Each structure stands twice: as structure tokens, then as C-alpha cells.
Structure 1
Amino acid sequence: MRKHLFYLAAAIVAMSSCTESEVVEVSQSKIIGFNSFVGNQTRTEQKGQTLETLKEEGNGFYVFGTYKEENKEEETVVFDGKTTGAHVTWGESWGYSPINFWLEKGTYKFAAYAPQLSITPTFNYANNQMTFPDFVTDGKTDLLVAEAAADGIKGSNPRVVNFTFKHALSKVRFTFIDGWRNDVILSITQIKLKQVKSKGTLTTPGNLQGAGAISKNNWQIQNDKVEFEDKTGIELKVLNSKHLFDNFIIPQTIDDIELEFTVSVRNPNNTFIELDKEKNTVKTITVPLSTGTVTEWIPGNAYNYKLTISGTTFGLKPIQFDVTEVSDWNELDDQDITDGVTNIVTPKNP
């Protein structure tokens, strides 16, 4: 089994700011607006959260924002990260309601995440960090996190708050490739990723703006283990056709994690092919991932495990060909053409 590791691209896409007015005329420079950026993933069919998915109706992101007046210790919550007023969504620009406004004599700090979660994240103003307690991954949901500049934003110099979202989970893909000839029917069912740790607490590092990144050390992982299953069931009939099984997983060390799936193969006339000496036509295959070169899954990285299913998978011997010799030409005697007439001769070695 070949394994390939892909890293997230560094490209960033910018969006225009939110400037929304109500009936009472207010200076636009006093409105707290947001820009959103998302670090691009490798080109995959299941990208998880992207800038495009954030902009889809009802999605967006949730903002934490606090204000601290000069020479005072207490902080005021401006965006609480959970209610409707903290939900920023895309229209013609990024917007939210009701609108908040900059106050001049103080410092703001902001953080954000997506999508909406069943748990309640918190935000620490002093450390510029978010905490996601007892986060549980279902294998299908990507988690984005973002922090504005850690030194805070002065209310006397208001600007649009720029977020660069980072992927807090690892993306693990299994690509099943048909290695049989055309018209043979390859059935792959009961695909399971087993012994995966699914629960942990994430505390962001406080410096995600710019080059900052989530590391595995930002996760406190519990030992709750689950299995993720692809219940679709697939049939591949064309050589090199593919099926993808994607999972978004808490970053972790690969210990006893394994991939399991069941395979059967049928000829075009719908008869099953015997896959071993015992004449079994259905085989369950278990692949321990710890045997590969990748020993841990890192936040923000996408991993693609490629599995080509062919007769070799079951120890069957391929039909092979070889060439041992190509015979020489039979040489004729040299012939002279005299007066336009040539005699027919036989080969030297008839």
C-alpha cells in the first residue's frame, strides 16, 4: 500500500468588508466589520470548510470579541461567540446583526470559529486564546479557527477585522483504485476506519494570525475510540476508477488505527471470482496504518492513502508474457538486372 502526504497550500483569498447602515446615519468608520480568509487545502473532492462553504447561506462563522478600557482591568464582551449577534454571514459582504461600534478609549481582541458546535467554546482575552472543551469529531465535520492580531486593536484607530482561518483537524483520505481489467465488477463494502481517538480539548495558541498554526500539542486528547464507516457500498467496473473515503480527525499519533473493508469480484457474466486457494469469493482485508511511513496526523494536513485492489491483493498470480527470440530474415542471393530481366531465385536457407 502506498501512502502520500499532502500539505495545505499557502494561498489566501480576500473578501470585501462589511459596511451596513441602519436608518440613523452613522459614520461607517465606527462600525465593526469583518474580513474572512481560509487557508486552502489540497485539491480534493471533499474539501471540508472553505471560503466558498463559509459564504453559503446559513453558514458563516462565529465571533468572540472583547473590549478593555484603558487603565481598567475588567473586560466587556462585545461578541459572545454563540448567539445570533455573533454569527457573521455572507450577503454582498460579511454582515451580522445587531451592529456593534468601536469605542475610542480601549483595546479590542477578536477570535472566530466555524461551524456552529454543540459544545460552548470560550475566549481568553489576556492570552488571545479560544478553548473548545470536549470536542468530539464525527469524521464529517471540519473545524476552522482564527484569531485577530494578538496585540489587540485600538478603538481609536478602527479597521476591518481580518481573520485567517486555520484547519484545526487532520484530513485523512482513503482512495480505493480498481486494478482489475475493464468490465470486471469490483465490490468494496463495510469500509471502516477503526480505533480512532475522537474526543479532546483544543486550546488555540494565541498567535494564529499570519504564519501561526495549530499543532498537535494544542490538543489534549482523551482515549475515547470510535470507528468511522463508509456505508455507501461501491462497485467499480472500469480500470483505474476510484472511490474516496474522507474523514476529518483530531490530530493524533497512529498507534493501533487500522482500515478494514470487504471485497468481492465478479466477471462480466456475474460469476464470482475465487480469491484464494480455499475458493473464497468474499474477503475481509485489514490494513494497520502504523506500518506506514507516517506516524502521526498533524493539524491542517491532508493525508491520502492509496489502495489499488487487484489480483495481487489476494496473492493471485498475473498472466505474464515474455519474448525469447525473433527469427532472422532469410537472405536471398544478390541479383543483377540484365536488359530489364531478373531471374527468380530461392532463399539460401529454404
Structure 2
Amino acid sequence: MFNKFLSYAAASLVLASCSSTDVLEENIAAGTAISFNSHVSNSSRAMTNDNFTSFRVYGGYTLDGQSDYHTSFNSTEVTKTEGTWSYTGGAKYWVKDASYKFYAYSCENTALQKGTPIFATSGDKAGTFEITAFECDDTHQHDFLFAESGTIIGKESGNTAVSFTFKHVLSKVCAKFKSGFPAGVNIQVTGVQFRNIHDRANFSSTLAADERW
């Protein structure tokens, strides 16, 4: 491996005058429904806060004194519309005193095309996240962003949004050439090569931070 590189039972009976969107927004505002926000570091690259609109999230929780792992998100798509992040599959709710951890990635606003995300939901590795054989080549030219939360303890209410700071793990390389010839002179450049640049990686959340990629 390349080293450097439930919930509260939500009442289903809702007043006819209230839409499901209204109820979800009220639960997010009250801090009972899980929500997300994000920031892209090094945003001078291809993916910036302005054009970053979609990521995939994984995560769940354990209860104090119990070994069972409870999955809340498993490759759930989270998208941004008019500055607000929302996810598919219905609202997930915080569990009081549960211990949560979340992981997220974006392959330039899409799911992985070359590489396999693996999120363990049972067994000794439950709650761990891996990506195997992520690759950039001439057919797959995308920035890859990754983020993870620290451990978060759920509260009965008043939970804030899970905040992700996405970092570029692999980014497209842009080559620019400056000519000293007068304007109007055409120059053809051929045989350009980049050497000693990593174009593939694996990731494991079980390794130390400086060894995960």
C-alpha cells in the first residue's frame, strides 16, 4: 500500500398541513436530525468551495458498553443546492450518548470510478473505512477529496451539523509553457513527461494518520 500518499423513533404521524421537508428542516434546526456541511482546503485547485456540490458519506455509531455497530450512512450521496447540503434516503437521527464517526469522499462530485470504497458494518473492523486501488490515468483525470470527522457524541437535541474539511489527496497536474518569442510565433511542444508523481493509492482508517495513503 502506498503510505504517503433508533435513532429516535421519529413519529410518522404528521399534521396534514406540514410537508416532510418542513419536518426534516425542523428536526435539523432542533439538532435531532443528522446534517452535514463542508469546506474544501487548498481550494485554488480544480475543486473549490464554489463548484463542490456532491460527496459520499459513511458512518455510524456504537453505544457505551455495547459491541454492536449501527450503520447510519453507507455510500449515501450528499448534495448541495443553493448552499444547503442534504442527503438521500430519508433523515437519520442522532442517538443520545452514542459515539459516532463519519468518513466522506468526492471524486470531483461523482462516486469513485477507479477504486473501491469498503465500509465495514460488522465484525472486528466494523466502523472502519478503506479505499483500494484508486488510480489516475489518461482515462480518469479527476481530483480526489477526502474528509473524516472526529468522534462525535450524540445528544438528545442541539446537535450541530457534522463539519467536514475536505483535503485533496490526488489532484490534476496543469503544465503551462511561457515563450520568449514575439507574439504571433507558433511553437509546438512535444514529448512532455511527468516523472516521480504518484498516480494511485490505497487508504485505511485503521492506520496512523501519516501512513493512511
**Fold-level similarity (TM above 0.5):** yes
User: CA 1:128 to 1:177, structure 2 compared with 1: closer, same or farther past 3 Å?
Assistant: farther
Which of residues 77, 94, 99 in structure 2 aligns to 1:102?
Answer: 94
User: CA 1:129 to 1:142, structure 2 compared with 1: closer, same or farther past 3 Å?
Assistant: farther
The 3-state SS of whatever aligns with 1:66 is strand
Quote how far apart the aligned CAs of 1:23 are.
6.2
**Which string of whole-angstrom CA distances, capped at 9 and with x for unpartnered residues, describes residues 32-64 of structure 1?**
11011110244xxxx222222212xxxx00001
Which of residues 113, 116, 122 in structure 1 aligns to 2:105?
Answer: 113
Query: 1:49 corresponds to which residue?
Result: 47
User: CA 1:89 to 1:32, structure 2 compared with 1: closer, same or farther past 3 Å?
Assistant: same
Q: For the residues of structure 1 that align with 2:198 and 2:42, how far apart are their CA atoms?
A: 25
The 3-state SS of whatever aligns with 1:175 is coil
Pairing 1:198-217 to 2, within 5 Å after superposition: 198-204=199-205, 215=210, 217=211
Quote how far apart the aligned CAs of 1:170 are.
5.1
Segments of 5+ residues of structure 2 without an aligned counterpart are 1-18
Query: 1:34 corresponds to which residue?
Result: 36
Q: Note if contact 1:107-1:153 (Cα within 8 Å) is conserved in structure 2.
A: yes
Q: Note if contact 2:131-2:202 (Cα within 8 Å) is conserved in structure 1.
A: yes
Query: 1:341 corresponds to which residue?
Result: none
Q: Let me know the Cα RMSD of the aligned residues.
A: 3.0
Q: Report the AA paired with residue 162 of structure 1.
A: S
RCO (CA 8 Å, sep 6+): is it higher in 1 or 2?
Answer: 2
Alignment partner of 1:87 is 2:77: yes
The 3-state SS of whatever aligns with 1:48 is coil
Quote how far apart the aligned CAs of 1:72 are.
0.8
Q: For the residues of structure 2 that align with 1:95 and 1:131, how far apart are their CA atoms?
A: 24
Q: For the residues of structure 2 that align with 1:103 and 1:70, how far apart are their CA atoms?
A: 12
Q: For the residues of structure 2 that align with 1:87 and 1:69, how far apart are their CA atoms?
A: 25
Q: For the residues of structure 2 that align with 1:162 and 1:62, how far apart are their CA atoms?
A: 14
Q: Note if contact 2:59-2:102 (Cα within 8 Å) is conserved in structure 1.
A: yes
Q: For the residues of structure 2 that align with 1:25 and 1:185, how far apart are their CA atoms?
A: 62
Quote how far apart the aligned CAs of 1:137 are.
1.3
The 3-state SS of whatever aligns with 1:51 is coil
Alignment partner of 1:167 is 2:168: yes
**Which string of whole-angstrom CA distances, capped at 9 and with x for unpartnered residues, describes residues 238-284 of structure 1?**
xxxxxxxxxxxxxxxxxxxxxxxxxxxxxxxxxxxxxxxxxxxxxxx
User: CA 1:145 to 1:197, structure 2 compared with 1: closer, same or farther past 3 Å?
Assistant: closer
User: CA 1:155 to 1:122, structure 2 compared with 1: closer, same or farther past 3 Å?
Assistant: farther
Q: For the residues of structure 2 that align with 1:24 and 1:173, how far apart are their CA atoms?
A: 45
Quote how far apart the aligned CAs of 1:152 are.
2.6
Q: For the residues of structure 2 that align with 1:128 and 1:76, how far apart are their CA atoms?
A: 9
Q: Note if contact 1:67-1:78 (Cα within 8 Å) is conserved in structure 2.
A: yes
Give the number of the structure whose residues are more often strand, by fraction: 1
Quote how far apart the aligned CAs of 1:174 are.
2.4
Q: Note if contact 2:145-2:169 (Cα within 8 Å) is conserved in structure 1.
A: yes
Segments of 5+ residues of structure 1 without an aligned counterpart are 1-20, 208-213, 220-350
Q: Report the AA paired with residue 80 of structure 2.
A: W
Q: For the residues of structure 2 that align with 1:73 and 1:48, how far apart are their CA atoms?
A: 42
User: CA 1:181 to 1:142, structure 2 compared with 1: closer, same or farther past 3 Å?
Assistant: same
Query: 2:71 corresponds to which residue?
Result: 77
Q: For the residues of structure 1 that align with 2:23 and 2:136, how far apart are their CA atoms?
A: 45
Quote how far apart the aligned CAs of 1:198 are.
3.2
Q: Note if contact 1:129-1:206 (Cα within 8 Å) is conserved in structure 2.
A: no
The 3-state SS of whatever aligns with 2:50 is helix
Quote how far apart the aligned CAs of 1:185 are.
1.8
Quote how far apart the aligned CAs of 1:172 are.
3.5
Quote how far apart the aligned CAs of 1:74 are.
1.1
**Which string of whole-angstrom CA distances, capped at 9 and with x for unpartnered residues, describes residues 56-77 of structure 1?**
xxxx000011121222101111
What's the % identity of the aligned pairs?
28
Q: Note if contact 1:127-1:206 (Cα within 8 Å) is conserved in structure 2.
A: no
